[in-house]
């Protein structure tokens, strides 16, 4: 009886298995899709982005199946030492990296978030994921086999891929239900995958630097806020001249995998723009940190943003950006510039911000 079911299972798997080269190229496309959607997900903050995150998870699950097919096919090349070639080392390193990337993704989905010095599991997932693209490129280069026409049996391939995708969706749903039943941390995730931190004020959420931005504490007496650019009146305001009379609840969602809802209090950017009287050319507003770290918002969005001096009723701590930090609802955490000292009203956006922000921690 057992023999029968095992062989039935084997032949079922065999009939579901696409031809070798299709498997390989699907893995290639899948990994590129994951890298692309993973990178894009960094800026996804509002629920309209949710489908991108579903895609990332569904393709990730499909990759597990495809890798399973591939491993079943090539395992003798790895297990038999006599068959080792130089490219085998690269293949094994690529496979191990893929395993860690997929494993960390799955573990994360289940809400397990081990403490790793300097990183979170999600940043390890992302970093190794990008490394995997490089390894896979090299692996492909050493073992390149273009797909052949004969590999495509339209009907069979369509069925095979439909089954995989449906299985992926079912697995994902099952995981959600399981998470809820087990009451794991994973059940309290946002659609971005971020896990909630509870509490109010400075101590309720971690201090996070997007690369290595870590200035000395900013002395309030020596600090002022400059508003300049497309304005009729340039402003230079000391801390005492600011009236932090606006309070609002906003959600900070960091790409390293946590989120918090806090009440932020400070100055509405609109007030600064009105006080400096922006020109007709003004279309964007750039927020610049003492470290050079910066981010730009379209002016309409900027009007609604807050330059906060307080969180949860407490004055901001140095780590959270004292004396003043940007609160940009609907944007990912890395866009919430800390230690703001300048507001530039501009005619254009600022594409260079991507690079400047990435290196700001190394140049100050
Ligand atoms: N100047 C500056 N602003 C910054 C950062 C930084 O490294 N430098 N990190 C960003 C990131 S990645 C996040 S998630 C939030 C985190 O804010 P917090 O440290 O108060 O939690 O600040 C953002 N603002
Ligand atoms: Mo972040």
Q: Which of 196, 251, 320, 333 to mutate to test the pocket of ligand 1 (most atoms within 8 A of CB)?
A: 333
End-to-end CA distance of the chain: 70
For residue 212, give the ligand 1 atom closest to its CA: 7
The percent of residues above 90 in pLDDT, for the chain, comes to 54
For residue 319, give the ligand 1 atom closest to its CA: 19
The pLDDT, as a whole number, for residue 116 is: 67
Task: Tell me the CA–centroid distance for residue 166 and ligand 1, in Å.
Answer: 39
Measured from the alpha carbon of residue 203, the closest ligand is 1
The pLDDT, as a whole number, for residue 163 is: 83
Task: Tell me the CA–centroid distance for residue 237 and ligand 2, in Å.
Answer: 28
Continuous segment of H or E residues that includes residue 15: helix 2-16
The pLDDT, as a whole number, for residue 302 is: 98
86 vs 304, higher pLDDT: 304
The pLDDT, as a whole number, for residue 180 is: 82
For residue 311, give the ligand 1 atom closest to its CA: 20
Residue 188: pLDDT above 80?
no
The pLDDT, as a whole number, for residue 113 is: 67
Q: How far is 300 from 241, CA to CA, in rounded Å?
A: 25
Segment 241-269 shows an average pLDDT of 95
Lining ligand 1 with CB less than 6 A are: 205-210, 213, 254, 289, 291, 293, 319-321, 333-334, 336-339
Q: How far is 49 from 84, CA to CA, in rounded Å?
A: 45
Task: Tell me the CA–centroid distance for residue 336 and ligand 2, in Å.
Answer: 9
The pLDDT, as a whole number, for residue 160 is: 82
Task: Tell me the CA–centroid distance for residue 194 and ligand 2, in Å.
Answer: 11
Residue 245: pLDDT above 80?
yes
Kindly report the protein residue whose alpha carbon is nearest to atom 2 of ligand 1.
Answer: 338
- Residue pair 56/41 in contact (Cβ under 8 Å)? The answer is yes
- Give the residue carrying structure tokens 């919430």: 336
3-class DSSP assignment, residue 142: helix
Segment 346-358 shows an average pLDDT of 89
Q: Which of 209, 250, 294, 361 to mutate to test the pocket of ligand 1 (most atoms within 8 A of CB)?
A: 209
Average predicted confidence (pLDDT) for the chain: 89
Residue 12: pLDDT above 90?
no
200 vs 167, higher pLDDT: 200
Nearest to 309 by CA among 236, 218, 205, 234: 218
Residues 6+ apart with CB under 8 A from 184: 110, 111, 112
Q: How far is 258 from 113, CA to CA, in rounded Å?
A: 10
Per-residue model confidence as pLDDT tens digits over 37-72: 999 998 888 889 999 998 898 889 889 989 999 998
- Residue pair 254/208 in contact (Cβ under 8 Å)? The answer is yes
Measured from the alpha carbon of residue 211, the closest ligand is 1
Task: Tell me the CA–centroid distance for residue 354 and ligand 2, in Å.
Answer: 14
Per-residue model confidence as pLDDT tens digits over 159-182: 888 888 788 778 878 888 888 888
The pLDDT, as a whole number, for residue 237 is: 98
Residue 235: pLDDT above 90?
yes
Q: Which domains does the chain have, with CATH numbers?
A: 2-192 (1.20.950), 202-362 (3.90.420.10)
Q: How far is 338 from 223, CA to CA, in rounded Å?
A: 14
Task: Tell me the CA–centroid distance for residue 169 and ligand 2, in Å.
Answer: 29
For residue 254, give the ligand 1 atom closest to its CA: 14
Q: How far is 89 from 103, CA to CA, in rounded Å?
A: 21
**Other beta carbons within 10 Å of 46:** 13
Q: How far is 258 from 236, CA to CA, in rounded Å?
A: 35
Task: Tell me the CA–centroid distance for residue 262 and ligand 1, in Å.
Answer: 15
325 vs 362, higher pLDDT: 325
The pLDDT, as a whole number, for residue 189 is: 81
Per-residue model confidence as pLDDT tens digits over 72-93: 888 888 888 787 887 888 889 9
Q: For the chain, what is the radius of gyration of the CA atoms? A: 25
pTM equals 0.82
Nearest to 305 by CA among 288, 326, 322, 274: 326
172 vs 284, higher pLDDT: 284
Per-residue model confidence as pLDDT tens digits over 104-157: 998 887 777 666 666 778 888 999 999 999 999 998 888 767 777 777 677 887
Residue 1: pLDDT above 60?
no
Measured from the alpha carbon of residue 209, the closest ligand is 1
The pLDDT, as a whole number, for residue 226 is: 98
- Residue pair 267/246 in contact (Cβ under 8 Å)? The answer is yes
Segment 297-308 shows an average pLDDT of 98
Task: Tell me the CA–centroid distance for residue 350 and ligand 2, in Å.
Answer: 20
Task: Tell me the CA–centroid distance for residue 348 and ligand 2, in Å.
Answer: 25
**14: number of CA atoms within 13 Å, CB side?**
6
Q: How far is 157 from 85, CA to CA, in rounded Å?
A: 32
The pLDDT, as a whole number, for residue 363 is: 56
Give the pLDDT band (50/70/90) at residue 357.
confident
Q: What is the DSSP string of 106-135?
A: HHHHTT----BTTB-HHHHHHHHHHHHHHH
Task: Tell me the CA–centroid distance for residue 333 and ligand 1, in Å.
Answer: 6
Kindly report the protein residue whose alpha carbon is nearest to atom 15 of ligand 1.
Answer: 333
The pLDDT, as a whole number, for residue 58 is: 87
The pLDDT, as a whole number, for residue 3 is: 63
For residue 320, give the ligand 1 atom closest to its CA: 20
Per-residue model confidence as pLDDT tens digits over 219-233: 999 999 999 999 999
CA 260 to chain centre: 16
Nearest to 228 by CA among 305, 343, 349: 343
Measured from the alpha carbon of residue 207, the closest ligand is 1
Q: Which of 338, 340, 354 to mutate to test the pocket of ligand 1 (most atoms within 8 A of CB)?
A: 338
């Amino acid at each position: 009886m057992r023999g029968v079911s095992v062989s039935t299972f084997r032949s079922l798997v065999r009939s579901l298995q696409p031809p070798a080269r299709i498997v390989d190229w699907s893995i290639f496309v899948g990994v590129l899709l994951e890298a692309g959607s993973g990178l894009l997900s960094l800026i996804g903050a509002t629920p309209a982005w949710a489908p991108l995150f579903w895609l990332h998870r569904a393709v990730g699950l499909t990759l597990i199946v495809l890798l399973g097919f591939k491993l079943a096919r090539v395992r003798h090349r790895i297990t038999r030492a006599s068959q080792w070639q130089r490219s085998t080392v690269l293949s094994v390193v690529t496979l191990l990296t893929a395993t860690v990337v997929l494993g960390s993704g799955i573990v994360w989905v289940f809400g397990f978030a081990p403490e790793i010095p300097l990183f979170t599991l999600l940043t390890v997932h992302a970093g190794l994921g990008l490394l995997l693209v490089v390894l896979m490129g090299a692996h492909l280069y050493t073992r390149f086999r273009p797909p052949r026409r004969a590999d495509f049996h339209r009907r069979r391939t369509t069925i095979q891929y439909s089954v995989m995708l449906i299985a992926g969706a079912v697995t994902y749903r099952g995981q959600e239900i399981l998470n809820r039943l087990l009451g794991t941390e994973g059940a309290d995730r946002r659609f971005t995958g971020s896990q909630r931190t509870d509490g109010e004020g400075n101590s309720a959420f971690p201090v996070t630097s997007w690369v290595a931005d870590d200035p000395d504490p900013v002395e309030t007496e020596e600090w002022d806020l400059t508003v300049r650019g497309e304005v009729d009146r340039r402003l230079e305001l000391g801390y005492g001249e600011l009236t932090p009379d606006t309070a609002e609840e906003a959600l900070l969602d960091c790409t390293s995998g946590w989120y918090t809802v806090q009440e932020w209090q400070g100055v509405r950017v609109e007030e600064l723009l009105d006080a400096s009287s922006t020109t007709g050319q003004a279309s964007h507003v750039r927020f610049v940190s003492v470290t050079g770290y910066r981010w730009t918002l379209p002016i309409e969005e900027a009007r609604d943003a807050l330059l906060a001096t307080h969180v949860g009723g407490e004055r901001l701590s140095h780590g959270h950006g004292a004396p003043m930090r940007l609160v940009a609802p609907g944007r990912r955490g890395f866009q919430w510039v800390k230690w703001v000292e300048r507001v530039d009203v501009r005619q254009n956006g600022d594409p260079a911000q991507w690079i400047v922000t990435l290196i700001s921690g190394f140049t100050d």
